[in-house]
Amino acid sequence: MASEDIESRGAGAKTTVNNYSSSSSYALENSDTRWTSWLIPVFVVANVAMFIVVMYINNCPKHNFGFDGKCVARFLGRFSFQPLRENPLFGPSSSTLEKLGALQWTKVVHKHQGWRLITCIWLHAGVIHLLANMICLVFIGIRLEQQFGFVRIGIIYLLSGLGGSILSSLFIRNNISVGASGALFGLLGAMLSELLTNWTIYTNKAAALLTLLIIVAINLAVGILPHVDNFAHIGGFLTGLLLGFILLPRPQFGWVERQNLPVDVRAKSKYKPYQYVLWLLSLLLLVVGFTVGLVMLFRGESANDKCHWCHYLSCVPTSSWNCDSI
């Protein structure tokens, strides 16, 4: 698996994402919990179940011929892992992931398998990759779902994952990609835009904003390491950021309490003027971004031709490693 660039390419980034939960206490501390979180636990179960299916199909003892070493944890039978030289994350082979829906530019564009833009979100390269992502999802997603409900958080999660897949495909052609990192970064982006669009109702605003920005910066910085798909992170984050402005604005207190006002007192509008402006701009940017991205992707265009320096956003070559595979 050393030759493949899976978005577990981002396993290192996932461990840092666990810190996301620390910022949610700032952003949501003054809000009442109104929803029971069930969708995020379902997503976690679905990801774990999918990984079990992948390992069942992978069947290392049957398909590994010992060129890279013996299967790991052979007592698990057909669920044992590929040799560590091939996959150090304790997981399946690249060929199994590709067969089951990993993101691969050639198959999406030339074989018209656009469904891979979604299926790759539910695949993971190994136990380490899976655990890191699911821990992050629990810490970030459950709190957000309790605040805003399963519909809005589900939309943000899925569309952010799609946005991450599109941007990744536009820049990276030579490797496969799997993982929920784009969707997770989307939830983080939504947390940031929710804080900004509802700025006036929170205390400790500066601390909340600084915490979120530091977390974003750290995780994007990790993304410049080799074998980490930072384009999926960036695409998911930007999608979630815009969706947060669209789906997560909170109404003004005066509008919420309008039924208790005297008859001759005019109630405030539901949202502040700047919230309407952010909503409209975000919707336009989201529609334009997805449209342009999908058109470029299915026309076979490479975003690297439009932006000659953007590849440094995903990998910065040093004396210790190169980025030739990008």
Catalytic residues: 181, 233
DSSP string, 205-270: HHHHHHHHHHHHHHHHHHTTSTT--HHHHHHHHHHHHHHHHHH-PPPPHHHHTGGGS-TTSPPPPS
**Short-list 63, 54, 62, 61, CA closest to 100:** 54
Work out the angle between the directed axes of helices 127-148 and 181-197 (0-180°, nearest 10). Answer: 30
CB atoms within 10 A of CB 300: 12
Q: Provide the residue count of the chain.
A: 326
Q: Which pair of tokens denotes residue 225?
A: 């390491």
Are the CB atoms for 72 and 90 separated by under 8 Å? Answer: yes
